[in-house]
């Protein structure tokens, strides 16, 4: 029994090693100066340039892109993450509310239209989507960045599922007490779905933060770059440079990793719940 | 009325682009936008018969197979062990799942660093065995780096699902099994594994979709915008032909092929979910 337990731990530790090491190495590398790394390879121990490198990356405009610093990109990532998560929750809650509680003509038809979006991941229709956003004049705006991402049906399904599990007696009780549809939604459904909202918020925030393809197409102006979008610029500088600024590249990568990881780790139980429920 | 916001977004950013893609897949469009000629199924025929497309499709299939197989296998092993250990289970869980929040292109960037010619420790490691890796130059080596990075990024999702699946298996079933059968290995294959099968099927679809679409960021960063002789996935080719090659018809035809594929996958997925209800 003892022996088996040890073997289990060894396997788990190997797994942890496999998952953690790459990011740990990236972090270690981000605390050295570029020349050391170029001469000696990736660093396995922390260096003494931590503050210096991160300050450069955050506040020195032009470190990579000549116009924008890491702090602006961080803010843009925040705007995208929060804007996407909040927008999506509001829109999909309202839509799910309508689908579940109101009888109206074409309800099933509307449902199927929304449903169809599940069949069309962004990657499949990039080119036409881009053309449409362009013709609407939304290239290089936050609207053009966020709104097209919001539309997919995952959130709507999630809330629909949840609303259907709310007992009808609650609706009847509310009606007897004289609550209108809006009051029912605001005072009963929203408080009931609090944990659901939190769970889906985390998933959506991470999803929004990590968007890459869409921001790459829509934002060509550097003041709108997100961190993840900025990676592409890092690569280009890297390919061209004499002594690649690996330390700064890794510092930016770490910056892009930390916020979503923190959210996932801190709200772990909600996150797991959201992930397991929403994908079903 | 409440459905309006979602319906508008869905129509403008989903249905319209999709319709546009289907339409332009039947036309041969001038790259500068001067008119288009109706060419019927020529774009599809050209696409499917071109040797390049065949090569990319083959790579995508192999890549998908390895990513799916490896990430599911590793995740299942880790989940079983994490479910079993008495001490430290929850810390292992946290340590193994946080990579979920790392954006694919950031994972790609770290991958590029670890597989770098000059500084990458993995390259140095394999050099000990006489394997000179050349990422970005050698076809096989680049595919290898891409697969490893994609697997690294996907293990946490599978791990979370498997673990919650395992924890859903009731204690009484496990106890009954352990009375009937002493070998824990056989117990796993005859009792636990079949009970996990629905989760496994579901994850299979999720992973295939992941390998097809979500690896875009990883592929884009690792091939460093120089697709030349490097392995790319089908989705990446849609992007390349559409935005770089200005082959609108061909790119749209590829989009339509992918849409059909996603449609098939989704149908299979729903079939499985229906089946799953019978299992539990």
Residues 180-239 of chain A whose Cβ lies under 8 A from any Cβ of chain B? 206, 209-210, 212-213, 217, 228, 231-232, 234-236, 239
B26 touches chain A (CB under 8 A): no
**pLDDT value of position A182:** 81
| A176 pLDDT above the threshold of 60 | yes
3-state secondary structure of A14: helix
Over residues B91-118, the mean pLDDT reads: 80
pTM for the full predicted model: 0.82
Round to whole Å and give the CA distance between B94 and B66. Answer: 25
pLDDT tens sequence across B164-219? 888 877 778 777 877 877 777 777 777 778 788 777 877 887 888 888 877 888 88
Cβ contacts of B125 within 8 Å, gap of 6 or more: none
3-state secondary structure of A220: coil
pLDDT tens sequence across B118-147? 667 777 777 777 666 666 667 777 888 888
**pLDDT value of position B277:** 47
* Number of domains chain A contains: 1
| Per-residue CA distances from B60 to A65, A69, B9, B15, B211 (Å) | 33, 36, 31, 27, 8
| A119 pLDDT above the threshold of 70 | no
DSSP string of A225-250, one letter each residue: --HHHHHHHHHHHHHH-SS--HHHHH
Residues 202-241 of chain B whose Cβ lies under 8 A from any Cβ of chain A? 202, 206, 209, 213, 216-217, 220-221, 224-225, 235, 238-239
| Per-residue CA distances from A97 to A128, A164, A188, B3 (Å) | 31, 10, 12, 9
| B227 pLDDT above the threshold of 80 | no
Question: What ipTM was estimated for this complex?
Answer: 0.78
Burial state string for B168-186 with b = 16 or more CB within 10 A and e = fewer than 16: eeeeeeeeebeeeeeeeee
Between B2, B85, B99, which is nearest A19 by CB?
Answer: B99
Q: Do the Cβ atoms of A213 and B111 come within 8 Å? A: no
Q: Structural domains in chain B?
A: 36-279 (1.10.3720.10)
- Residue closest to A207 by CA, chosen among A141, A142, A158, A150: A150
The nearest CA of chain B is from the CA of A39 a distance in Å of 8
Percent of the residues in chain B that have a pLDDT greater than 70, as a whole number: 76
Joined together, the tokens standing for residue B269 give 């997925």
- Smallest CA–CA distance from A7 into chain B, residue: B81
| A235 pLDDT above the threshold of 80 | no
**pLDDT value of position A75:** 83
Joined together, the tokens standing for residue B126 give 């394999």
Q: Do the Cβ atoms of A128 and B16 come within 8 Å? A: yes
**pLDDT value of position B79:** 85
DSSP string of A110-170, one letter each residue: HHHHHHHGGG--GGGGHHHHHHHHHHTT-TTSHHHHHHHHHT-SHHHHHHHHHHHHS-HHH
Q: What residues of chain B lie within 8 A of the CB of A119, using their CB?
A: 259, 262-263, 266
**pLDDT value of position B196:** 81
A173 touches chain B (CB under 8 A): no
The nearest CA of chain B is from the CA of A216 a distance in Å of 10
CATH code of residue A61:
1.10.3720.10
Q: Which domain holds residue A118?
A: 2-278
Helix (H) or strand (E) holding B37: strand B36-38
**pLDDT value of position A269:** 80
A26 touches chain B (CB under 8 A): yes
**pLDDT value of position B280:** 40
């Amino acid at each position: 029994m003892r022996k088996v337990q040890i073997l289990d731990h060894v396997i788990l530790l190997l797994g942890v090693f496999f998952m953690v090491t790459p990011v740990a190495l990236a972090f270690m590398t981000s605390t050295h100066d570029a020349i050391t790394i170029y001469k000696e390879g990736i660093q396995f121990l922390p260096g003494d340039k931590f503050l210096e490198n991160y300050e450069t990356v955050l506040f020195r405009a032009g470190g990579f892109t000549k116009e924008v610093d890491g702090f602006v990109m961080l803010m843009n990532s925040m705007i995208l993450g929060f804007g996407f998560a909040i927008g999506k929750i509001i829109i999909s809650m309202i839509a799910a509310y309508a689908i579940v509680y109101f009888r109206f003509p074409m309800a099933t038809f509307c449902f199927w239209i929304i449903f169809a979006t599940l069949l069309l991941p962004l990657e499949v229709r990039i080119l036409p989507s881009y053309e449409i956003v362009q013709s609407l004049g939304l290239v290089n705006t936050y609207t053009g960045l966020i709104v097209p991402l919001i539309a997919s049906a995952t959130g709507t399904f999630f809330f629909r599922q949840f609303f259907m599990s709310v007992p009808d007696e609650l609706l009847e009780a509310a009606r007897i007490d004289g609550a209108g549809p809006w009051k029912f939604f605001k005072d009963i459904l929203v408080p009931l779905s609090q944990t659901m909202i939190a769970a889906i918020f985390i998933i959506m925030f991470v999803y929004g933060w990590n968007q890459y393809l869409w921001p790459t197409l829509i934002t060509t102006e550097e003041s709108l770059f997100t961190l993840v979008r900025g990676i592409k610029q890092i690569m280009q500088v890297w390919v061209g440079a004499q002594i690649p600024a690996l330390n700064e590249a890794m510092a930016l990568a770490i910056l892009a990793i930390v916020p979503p990881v923190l959210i996932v780790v801190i709200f772990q139980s909600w996150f797991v719940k959201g992930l397991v429920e929403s994908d079903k | 009325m409440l459905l309006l916001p979602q319906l508008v977004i869905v129509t403008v950013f989903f249905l319209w682009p999709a319709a546009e893609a289907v339409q332009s897949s039947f036309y041969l469009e001038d790259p500068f936008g001067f008119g288009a000629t109706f060419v019927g199924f020529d774009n599809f025929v050209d696409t499917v018969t071109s040797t390049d497309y065949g090569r990319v499709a083959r790579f995508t299939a192999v890549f998908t197979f390895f990513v799916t197989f490896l990430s599911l296998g590793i995740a299942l092993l880790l989940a079983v062990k994490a479910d079993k250990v008495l001490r430290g289970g929850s810390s292992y869980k946290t340590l193994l799942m946080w990579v979920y929040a790392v954006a694919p292109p950031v994972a790609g960037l770290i991958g590029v660093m670890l597989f770098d010619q000059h500084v990458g420790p993995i390259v140095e490691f394999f050099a000990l065995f006489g394997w000179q890796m050349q990422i970005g130059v050698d076809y096989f080596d680049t595919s290898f780096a891409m697969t490893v990075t994609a697997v690294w990024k996907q293990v946490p999702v599978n791990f979370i699902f498997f673990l919650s699946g395992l924890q859903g298996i009731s204690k009484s079933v496990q106890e009954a099994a352990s009375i009937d059968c002493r070998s824990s290995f056989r117990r796993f294959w005859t009792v636990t594994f079949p009970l996990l099968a629905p989760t496994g099927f579901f994850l299979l679809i999720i992973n295939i979709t992941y390998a097809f679409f979500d690896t875009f960021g990883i592929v884009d960063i690792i091939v460093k915008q120089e697709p030349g002789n490097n392995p790319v996935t089908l989705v990446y080719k849609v992007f390349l032909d559409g935005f770089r090659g200005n082959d609108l018809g061909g790119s749209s035809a590829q989009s339509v092929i992918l849409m059909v594929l996603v449609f098939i996958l989704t149908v299979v997925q729903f079939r499985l979910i229906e089946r799953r209800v019978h299992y539990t």
